[in-house]
Amino acid sequence: MLRHSARCAATALTLTLAVSGCVSHDAQTDADQRPNILLILTDDQGYGDLALHGNQHLDTPRMDALGNASVRLDNFHAAPVCSPTRASLMTGRQFLSTGVWGVHGGRDYLHLGETTIAQRLSAAGYATYMMGKWHLGKSAAYLPHQRGFDESWMITDRLYMHTDPVFNHNGTTEKPKGWTAEILTDLAIDCMSREPDKPWFIYLAHPLIHEPYFAPDELVTKYRAMGLSESLATLYAMTEHLDTEVGRVVDAVTDRQNQRETIVIFMGDNGPIGNPWNLPHLTVEEMQQRNPRGWRGTKGNLYENGARVPAFVYAPERYQPRIEQSDTDVVDIVPTILDLASLPHNDATFDGLSLVPLLEGKPDALPDQRPLFMANHDARWPSWSYLYSHLPDREALRFEDQAVAVREGRYKFVLGYGSSALYDLALDTAEQQDISDQQPDVRDRLESTLRAWWEERVAAMPASYHMPTFQIGLDNAPSTYLYACAPVTVRGGVRTASHAVHDWQQDGDAIGLSVNVLRPGAYSLRADLVAGDNPSGSLTVRIGDATTTAPISEIRWPTIGTLELPADENIMWISLDHPGVADSPVIQELRGIEITPAPR
pLDDT digits (tens, 9 = 90+) for 503-524: 999 999 999 999 999 999 999 9
Checking if the pLDDT of 18 tops 70, the result is: no
Residue 478's pLDDT is: 84
Residue range 291-319: mean pLDDT, rounded? 97
E strands along 426-488, which residues?
Answer: 469-472, 480-483
Q: Which residues contact 93 (CB under 8 A, 6 or more apart)?
A: 87, 114, 331, 349, 350, 351, 352
Considering the four listed CATH numbers 3.30.1120.10, 3.10.129.10, 2.60.120.10, 2.40.30.10, the one that applies to the domain covering 374-458 is 3.30.1120.10
Residue 31's pLDDT is: 62
Residue 583's pLDDT is: 83
pLDDT confidence tier of residue 488, bands split at 50, 70 and 90: very high
**37-365, which class in CATH?**
alpha beta
* Whether the Cβ atoms of residue 282 and residue 232 lie closer than 8 Å to each other: yes
Checking if the pLDDT of 6 tops 60, the result is: no
Distance CA 407, CA 425 (A): 9
pLDDT confidence tier of residue 317, bands split at 50, 70 and 90: very high
pLDDT confidence tier of residue 1, bands split at 50, 70 and 90: very low
Distance CA 435, CA 421 (A): 7
* Whether the Cβ atoms of residue 520 and residue 567 lie closer than 8 Å to each other: yes
pLDDT confidence tier of residue 63, bands split at 50, 70 and 90: very high
Residue range 571-589: mean pLDDT, rounded? 91
Checking if the pLDDT of 178 tops 80, the result is: yes
pLDDT digits (tens, 9 = 90+) for 253-299: 998 877 899 999 999 999 999 999 999 999 999 999 999 999 999 99
Q: Calculate what percentage of the chain has a pLDDT beyond 70.
A: 95
Torsion of CA 392, 91, 127, 180, to 10 degrees: -60
Residue 596 Cα to chain centre, angstroms = 29
pLDDT digits (tens, 9 = 90+) for 524-560: 999 999 999 889 999 999 999 999 999 999 999 999 9
Checking if the pLDDT of 375 tops 90, the result is: yes
Residue 21's pLDDT is: 32
C-alpha closest to that of 439 among 426, 452, 453, 451: 426
Peptide bond into 183 cis (omega under 30): no
Residue range 373-382: mean pLDDT, rounded? 95
Residue 331's pLDDT is: 98
Residue 550's pLDDT is: 95
Residue 364's pLDDT is: 83
Type and span of the H or E element at 189: helix 180-191
Average model confidence (pLDDT) across the chain: 92
Residue range 398-410: mean pLDDT, rounded? 96
Task: State the amino acid at position 147 in one-letter form.
Answer: R
- Integer-rounded Cα Rg, in Å, for the chain is 25
Q: Domain spans of the chain?
A: 37-365, 374-458, 470-597
Q: Half-sphere exposure (CA, 13 Å, Cβ side) for 547?
A: 8
pLDDT confidence tier of residue 17, bands split at 50, 70 and 90: very low
Residue 8's pLDDT is: 34
Checking if the pLDDT of 26 tops 80, the result is: no
Question: 229 or 256: which carries more pLDDT confidence?
Answer: 229
Checking if the pLDDT of 23 tops 80, the result is: no
Residue 30's pLDDT is: 59
Instruction: Specify which residues 373 forms β-bridges with.
Output: 406
Residue 388's pLDDT is: 97
The superfamily (CATH) of domain 470-597 is Galactose-binding domain-like (2.60.120.260)
* Whether the Cβ atoms of residue 554 and residue 533 lie closer than 8 Å to each other: no
* Range 154-171 burial, b when 16+ CB lie within 10 A, else e: bbbeebbebbebebbbbe
> Are the folds of 374-458 and 470-597 the same?
no
| Torsional sign, CA 353, 348, 415, 273 | negative
pLDDT digits (tens, 9 = 90+) for 421-439: 999 999 999 999 999 999 9
Distance CA 468, CA 485 (A): 11
